[in-house]
Structure 1
C-alpha cells in the first residue's frame, strides 16, 4: 500500500464509527419489539429504561445529565457570555397590574385594592428589566461573543428579561425548574434554549458558569436564595468576581440592613462593595460597561506583561 492510499485509509477509518450510535440501537429495539420488553423488565436498554434511570441509586447519573445537556446545547449555539436576570415571578407588566387594580376597585374589596396598588407600583421593575434586556442585547449583538440574557424561565421579572431580548431580535436562555407553581416557561425564551431542571443545585451552576454579571430585581425567597448564594460564593472566592447589580436601592435597604451586618461584625466593611445599587436600565448598563472596560484593560495589561 503506497503512502497516499495509506493516508486515505486512515482518514476513512477515523471518520467511521466503530459502533452504532445508541439512537440507532434504540430505534431497532423500537421496531422489533421483544416479549421480554415489558414494564419492569431487565431486558430494556439501560438508557431507555425510565424506571431504571429514576432509581435512587442513579441520582449521580441524573445530575450529570442535567449538567451536560444545557452545557452541550449552549456550546452548540455559540453562547459564551451571559448576563443573568433574577427577580420575582409575581411582578406583573404594567397593563396587567392596572387591569387587576381596576377589577379590585370594581369589587370594592379594600384589601385587594391595596395589594393591587402595590402591584402597579412594583410593575415599574418589570418595565426596567424588559428595557435592560433590550439594551444589553442591542449593544452587544454585533460583538464576536454577544452577551445573552439568561433568566429562570418563568413569569414576572424572568419573563421581562426574555421579552426584552426577544424584542431586540436576540437569543435568550430560560432555566426552568419543576415546581408546584410557576413552572411553565414564558413564551419569549428562544425555543432551542429553553431548559428544565429537577435539581436546584445544577440550575444554579448553569446560572453562573457563563455569566459575566448578575442583575437582581426585587423578589421573594427564591430571589434572595439566588442572590445570597452568589454573594457568599464571591465573598469566599469560590467563583470569579463579576458585577452584581441590585435594582431599587430603597427596596433592598428596607429589606436588608446591610449597615447593621457591618456594625455587628457579621460581614466585613468591604463586603458591601460586592454589589451596586441601580435604579434604571440605562444606569445599570453604564455600570456594566465601565466594569467590562476596566476588566478588558486589565486583561490587556496582564497579556502585555506576560510577553
Structure 2
C-alpha cells in the first residue's frame, strides 16, 4: 500500500476504531451514524459510483508508483488456450478441443515473449518493461509464468466475474489487483504500456485489441508496438482489407499493428522500436 504520511491530525483508522467502541444505542446503530468512508451501503450505492471509479484508479496507481514501475509490456490473449500437453478444459466438442490444443503453441510463445521482456526489465532494475496480464489462466498465465521463470515481478489485473476466477499462481502477490470496472482496468493496462502483444482469444481479447488500436489511431495514445501473434488465426478472424475497401478505415490504418508468429519475431519489433539491447532467454 502507499506509504502513510505522518500527520498531527487523527487518522481515519483511529476514528473507525473509536466509533466501534461507541455505546450501543438506537442512534449509534443507525446507518446514518456510520462514518461515510466505512459505511458499505453508502460506498456501494448508485450515488457513489464516481467515487468507486476514482478509488479503483488510485489504489493500483499508488502501489505501482511506490514499487517504482514506470512502464509495462502488456499481454492480452485467451483464457481458454491451454499449456502444451494439457487438456483443453474449455472445449465443448471435439472440434474445439482439437483447435484449442493446436493453439496451445501460443501459450508457449506468450511465455517466451514475457521472458524476453522480463530479461530486458532486469537490466533496468525491474522498473521498465514489466509484464502485465489480466491475471487469469491461458495466455495470461503464460505471461506471468514467463516473468517468474527469470525471477522478474509481473502484474495481474484481475476482474470480478460471475463465475469464480482466481489469479494465476505466477502473478507477483504484491502486484495482484482486482477490479469491478472494466473501464478502470483498461486504463491500468495501457497507461504505462510500452508495447502491447495480442495473442489469439475471444471477445475480451478482441475488445482489448480494438480499444488499444482505437486509442492509437485517434492519437489518444502514443504509438507503441502493437503486435498480433498468429497470422493464420487473425487472417481468418479479422478482415481489415474489407474495412479499407469500404472506406471506413484509412488504407494505412493496418500499419498501426504488426502481425508476428513467434516470441523472437515479436520482441525484435519492440527491441528495434526502442533501440534496446539484445537479450537471451535460453
Report which of the two structures shows the higher radius of gyration computed on alpha carbons. 1
Corresponding position of 1:227: 209
Moved more, 226-235 or 176-185: 176-185
Partner of 1:208: 190
* Aligned counterparts, 1:139-178, within 5 A: 139-144=120-125, 145-178=127-160
Distance 2:6 2:170 in 1: 40
- CA distance 1:16–1:210, shift in 2 (3 Å): closer
How far has the Cα of 1:249 moved from its partner? 0.9
Equivalent-residue separation in structure 1 for 2:174 and 2:71 (angstroms)? 17
SS at match of 2:32: coil
- Alignment partners' CA distance in 2, 1:199 and 1:275: 27
| Pick aligned residue for 1:55 from 45, 49, 67 | 45
Over residues 221-250 of structure 1, what are the superposed CA-to-partner deviations in whole Å (9 max), with x where a residue is unaligned? 111111111111111111111110000011
TM-score normalised over the length of structure 2: 0.90
Partner of 2:219: 237
* Residues 45, 236 of structure 1: alpha-carbon distance in 2 compared, 3 angstrom cutoff: same
CA distance in 2, matches of 1:119, 1:147: 29
| Offset at residue 183 of structure 1 (A) | 2.9
Q: Secondary structure at the match of 1:117?
A: helix
2:280 alignment counterpart: none
Find the partner of 1:196 among 175, 178, 182: 178
Inter-CA distance 44–266: structure 2 relative to 1 (3 Å threshold): same
Structure 1 residues 112 and 289: alpha-carbon distance in aligned structure 2, compared to 1, 3 A threshold: same
CA distance in 2, matches of 1:33, 1:50: 21
User: After superposition, where does 1:1-307 map in structure 2 within 5 Å?
Assistant: 17-32=7-22, 34-35=24-25, 36-38=27-29, 41-97=31-87, 112-144=93-125, 145-181=127-163, 183-293=165-275
Per the TM alignment, residue 182 of structure 1 is displaced from its structure 2 partner at its CA by 5.9
**Larger RCO (CA within 8 A; separation ≥ 6):** 2
Structure 2 counterpart SS, 1:23 = helix
- For 2:12 and 2:155, the matched residues in 1 are separated by 28
Number of aligned residues = 270
Which structure shows the bigger proportion of residues in helix conformation? 1
- Structure 2 vs 1, CA of residues 229 and 33 (structure 1 numbering), >3 Å: closer, same or farther? farther
